[in-house]
Amino acid sequence: MQNDLGGEPPRAERPEEPSRVDGSRRGALKVLVALGGAAYAGAIVVPAVTMLAPSSEGGAGAARWMRVCRLAELTEGEPRRVVVVGDERDAYTVTKDQLLGSIWVTKKGESVTALSAVCPHLGCSIDLNGDKKSFSCPCHTSKFSLAGAAEAGPSPRGMDPLVVRVVDGHVEVDFKLFRQGIAERKEVG
Amino acid sequence: MKLGDWLDERTGYRAISRKFVEATVPGGARFAYAWGAALGIVLLLEAVTGVLLMTVYSPSATTAWASVAYLQQKVPGGWIVRGLHQFGAQAAIVLAVIHVGYAIARGAYRKPRELTYWLSLAMVGLVVVTALTGNPLRWDQRGFWGLRVETGIIGTVPVVGGVLQQLLLGGGTPGHMTLSRLYTLHTVVLPFLLGAIAAKHLWLSRKHGPALATPADAVKSDRYFPTQAARDVIVAVAVLGVIGALTWMRHGAPLDAPADPTSDYPARPEWYFLALYEMRKPFPGKLELIATVVIPGLVAGYLVLLPLLDKKADRGVMKRLPLLAPVGLFGVAAGVLTFASMRTDAADAEFGKAVAKAEAQGTKALALAQEGVPPEGALAMLRNHPETRRVALFEQHCASCHRMGDLGPPKDKDTAPDLTGFGTKAWAKRVMEEPDHDAMFGKTAFKGEMPSMTKPPADPEAAKAFTAMAPADLDAIADFLAVQAQGKKGEGLPGEKLVSQRCTSCHRFDGKTDDEDSLAPELRGWASVPWILAQIDDPGSGATYPKGAMDPKLEGHMPAFKDKLSEKDRALLAKFVQEQAGK
Ligand code: FES
């Protein structure tokens, strides 16, 4: 529906020549476009990768001693699940008194041992079997001895031991988390 | 000039809608073609409900669960939107599989439709991945543990696994960053990819039209509108009916207790992953990659290569049987494995118990959330609520010495009086009858300090002079003490006089005693909340026991908690001990 008064003016015909510029200028423009494009892409990709890449920051390696229970609460040779409570630093917040994880502690004479309750397979929570003679993970039925050695199931390594000490009758543990699914024991932050 | 003309001149919409109305369906309209359309409409539903959810949802480890609970409980219609979104996602998976399954059975992947087919395979994958990134967003137990296991599996993939896992988690462990990243994937990256692929797929399938079953079909043809459109709408509405019914029955989508990394939650994958979950069982240790990566990879590879393998001219299912058999096998195997997995769990009583426990925890968390979630997050809410907290406090600080009901030190490890029923008449009576019983003061430094009122002492000389207290008097004193524990004065009760006559030779009563060196405790207000609180604060303060009797520095005595616990926590404990007596 053309309107004579307000219609669009006719457009210029396309030039016959493929381009108005000659060979060398064409080459230069091509390089310009490529360089400009690369600069533009780089300006996006580099910060993007830097931003998204997992940060190396984190408390890996540093001791985080946490008080978990009293020595007197433990029964000789019988593992007990205790909860680790402490301040949690998660990206932009620090929250006091958070549940950080749970561990199994066992008293043997005067010494105490501790095992992470996180299954080294894929990270489910390990339970003590009813007969209290072994541990098992309900997720894919990994089985561990009381000492934490892997006995059956898909777990690639035994339960992760944690360093413990007893201070004034209190059990303290150096709480850490480890990577799952691999045979080596690698700490995560 | 009419508005329609004006608009058409600028958009050309008439030509477009004419194209739509006049489009034909070669071979005739069929219900079988409606699955794809239904999938498209469900994805549209996902987009709309998803945007609505975004107006309430808040992606951080401390707010995610709370915002979903709020949506579910307080936002009008929130539960409907959430239910439609979640069950819609599951419907999308089912529809995508049906759609592709039909294309395979029909041989619709063959030249020139290979690309159309590959794009549809990519869509199945993307629909599943989108669902997977959506599940943990609610940050409840199921979502959280599912995420732990899924990212755990990703972490085991050789070479790239570790980096990919950290990239998804935004660090070493699941937290705020994990949610931000999953949220970005789920609401921006994946939907755009899915939308782009769906558009291209639709465009291509329009271009090539449906693959005809028989040459005879070539002469038949229907208009898309309304013949095929009606079929599309009927199927889509039926699917919507199922989604709506599920939403109604479950009152939205399920929401467990907030994610708790310390719990013993029995993790299981969503139903559409149960087959994969079950399949790993026969592959222990290092062989596990066979189940998690190799077999799924081979199945996917076969489906992708199908158009290149199938060169026969005939489209009949029978003629292509050798090629289709593996696909059928995958389907049957998936079904069998899913069923087997469900049956194993259904038969597992331990698992059932764990599930019931998790459900109870979820109900409790939702009830608490009604009052609002504190800024520390839903998990802290659950942990710090008086009901939960006081039990935890008792377990942590009292239960290594005192027993109270189900709470207590390991068998025979108690070293302090049993607080079960502390302050009741029965308790008061018992301490007068057998003060040196193991459950009373028998395991403390006070053993032997108080004589029994009913049994003669062991020393034969003293036994001669002993007269047992009359049962009526014993009763009256016990009655009076029980009243004290209630926090009442009980003035004028017969027991009050008896106490001031018969007990004050050792015990303090209103701060007075005949024997200043005695270690026996104050009986006025005994076992009342202020009395217990004073004892918890500092047993050596002189308020409950005489100064020095309970010096916390003395070995084996009760420690003072004034500096160890907050005022709130101490008050909570005192009330807890007193309340439990009444049970
Ligand atoms: S997570 Fe423990 S066996 Fe798989």
User: What gap in Å lies between CA A173 and CA B575, rounded to an integer?
Assistant: 32
Choice among A145-159, B266-280, B369-383, B545-559 with the minimum mean pLDDT: B545-559
The per-residue pLDDT for B254 is 92
Residue of B nearest to A120 (CA): B152
Is residue B239 a contact partner of residue B94, using CB atoms and an 8 Å limit?
no
Dmax of chain A from CA atoms? 104
- pLDDT digit string, tens, across residues B388-439: 888 888 887 888 889 998 888 877 778 899 999 999 999 999 999 999 999 9
To test the ligand 1 pocket, which listed residue (A126, A142, A151) has its Cβ within 8 A of the most ligand atoms?
A142
B61 interfacial to chain A (CB closer than 8 Å): yes
Altogether, the residues listed in chain A come to a count of 189
The per-residue pLDDT for B118 is 96
A177 interfacial to chain B (CB closer than 8 Å): yes
Is residue A122 a contact partner of residue A135, using CB atoms and an 8 Å limit?
no
* Residue B247 predicted with pLDDT over 90: yes
Q: What is the position in ligand 1's atom list of the atom closest to the CA of A124?
A: 1
Neighbouring residues of B451: CB distance < 8 A, sequence distance ≥ 6: B435, B457
Q: What is the position in ligand 1's atom list of the atom closest to the CA of B267?
A: 1
Interval B189-200 mean pLDDT? 96
Dmax of chain B from CA atoms? 125
DSSP helix/strand/coil, A84: strand
Burial of A80 (0-12, 13-18, 19+ CB in 10 A): middle
Neighboring chain B residues of A74 at a CB cutoff of 8 Å: 410
A64 interfacial to chain B (CB closer than 8 Å): no
Is residue A113 a contact partner of residue A161, using CB atoms and an 8 Å limit?
yes
Neighboring chain A residues of B409 at a CB cutoff of 8 Å: 72-73
Question: Taking CB atoms and an 8 Å limit, are A99 and B177 in contact across chains?
Answer: no
Label residue B549 by pLDDT band (50, 70, 90): confident
Interface A-B: count of C-beta contacts within 8 A: 134
The per-residue pLDDT for A19 is 64
DSSP helix/strand/coil, B335: helix
How many angstroms separate the CA of residue B418 from the nearest CA in chain A?
Answer: 16
Interval B550-557 mean pLDDT? 69
Helices of type H across B209-320:
229-249, 274-279, 288-289, 295-309
User: What gap in Å lies between CA B252 and CA B242, rounded to an integer?
Assistant: 13
- Distance between first and last Cα of chain A: 69
Q: Is residue B254 reached through a cis peptide bond, with omega within 30 degrees of 0 on the bond before it?
A: no
| Nearest Cβ partner for A99 among B62, B383, B401 | B383
Give nearest CA residue, ligand 1 atom 3.
A140
Question: Taking CB atoms and an 8 Å limit, are B267 and A101 in contact across chains?
Answer: no
B319 interfacial to chain A (CB closer than 8 Å): no
Closest to A159 measured CA to CA, from A73, A107, A68, A81: A81
Model ipTM? 0.76
Cα dihedral angle (B535, B537, B543, B548), rounded to 10 degrees?
A: 80
Cα dihedral angle (B435, B436, B438, B441), rounded to 10 degrees?
A: 70
Label residue A1 by pLDDT band (50, 70, 90): very low
Is residue B46 a contact partner of residue B247, using CB atoms and an 8 Å limit?
no
The per-residue pLDDT for B1 is 67
CA atoms within 13 A on the CB side of B41: 16
Interval B261-279 mean pLDDT? 88
What is the whole-number distance in angstroms between the Cα of residue A121 and the centre of ligand 1? Answer: 5
Name the residue with higher pLDDT: A62 or B292.
B292
A127 lines ligand 1 (CB under 6 A): no
Test the A interface: residue of B142, B150, B173 with most A CBs within 10 Å:
B173
The per-residue pLDDT for A5 is 58
A119 lines ligand 1 (CB under 6 A): yes
* Residue B313 predicted with pLDDT over 70: no
Closest to B582 measured CA to CA, from B488, B440, B486: B486
The per-residue pLDDT for B514 is 85
- pLDDT digit string, tens, across residues A144-179: 999 999 998 888 899 999 999 998 888 999 998 898
Closest to B453 measured CA to CA, from B475, B471, B432: B432
CB atoms within 10 A of CB B327: 17
User: What gap in Å lies between CA B187 and CA B227, rounded to an integer?
Assistant: 35
The per-residue pLDDT for B241 is 96
CB atoms within 10 A of CB B340: 15
Q: What average pLDDT is seen over chain B?
A: 89
* Residue A184 predicted with pLDDT over 80: yes
- pLDDT digit string, tens, across residues B473-522: 999 999 999 999 988 888 888 999 899 888 998 898 988 888 888 888 99
Is residue B404 a contact partner of residue B583, using CB atoms and an 8 Å limit?
no
Neighboring chain B residues of A127 at a CB cutoff of 8 Å: 264
How many angstroms separate the CA of residue A76 from the nearest CA in chain B?
Answer: 10
* Residue B65 predicted with pLDDT over 60: yes
DSSP helix/strand/coil, A100: strand
The per-residue pLDDT for A55 is 61
DSSP helix/strand/coil, B361: helix
Bridging pattern class, strands A177-178 and A170-174 = unpaired
DSSP helix/strand/coil, B516: coil
Closest to B136 measured CA to CA, from B313, B270, B248: B270
Q: Which two tokens stand for residue B181?
A: 């990243």
User: What gap in Å lies between CA B40 and CA B45, rounded to an integer?
Assistant: 9
Name the residue with higher pLDDT: B485 or A64.
B485
A153 lines ligand 1 (CB under 6 A): yes
**CA-derived radius of gyration, chain A:** 32
How many angstroms separate the CA of residue A58 from the nearest CA in chain B?
Answer: 8
Question: Taking CB atoms and an 8 Å limit, are A75 and B411 in contact across chains?
Answer: yes
The per-residue pLDDT for A62 is 62
User: What gap in Å lies between CA A178 and CA B259, rounded to an integer?
Assistant: 19
Backbone dihedral angles phi then psi of residue B310, each to the nearest 5 degrees? -85, 100
* Residue A126 predicted with pLDDT over 80: yes
Neighboring chain A residues of B285 at a CB cutoff of 8 Å: 154-156
Question: Taking CB atoms and an 8 Å limit, are B281 and A70 in contact across chains?
Answer: no
| Nearest Cβ partner for B61 among A60, A90, A152 | A90
* Residue B539 predicted with pLDDT over 90: no
- pLDDT digit string, tens, across residues B457-479: 888 888 888 888 999 999 999 99
Residue of A nearest to B352 (CA): A138
Choice among B281-285, B382-386, B563-567 with the minimum mean pLDDT: B281-285
What is the whole-number distance in angstroms between the Cα of residue A156 and the centre of ligand 1? Answer: 10
The per-residue pLDDT for B257 is 94
* Residue B127 predicted with pLDDT over 80: yes
* Residue A21 predicted with pLDDT over 60: yes
* Residue A15 predicted with pLDDT over 80: no
Test the A interface: residue of B264, B341, B355, B402 with most A CBs within 10 Å:
B264
A140 lines ligand 1 (CB under 6 A): yes
User: What gap in Å lies between CA A75 and CA B541, rounded to an integer?
Assistant: 33
Residues 4-63 of A with CB under 8 A from B: 52-55, 58, 60
Amino acid identity, position B564: K
* Residue A26 predicted with pLDDT over 50: yes
Test the A interface: residue of B262, B287, B341, B357 with most A CBs within 10 Å:
B262
How many angstroms separate the CA of residue A26 from the nearest CA in chain B?
Answer: 34
A143 interfacial to chain B (CB closer than 8 Å): no
The per-residue pLDDT for B457 is 85
CA A164 to chain centre: 24
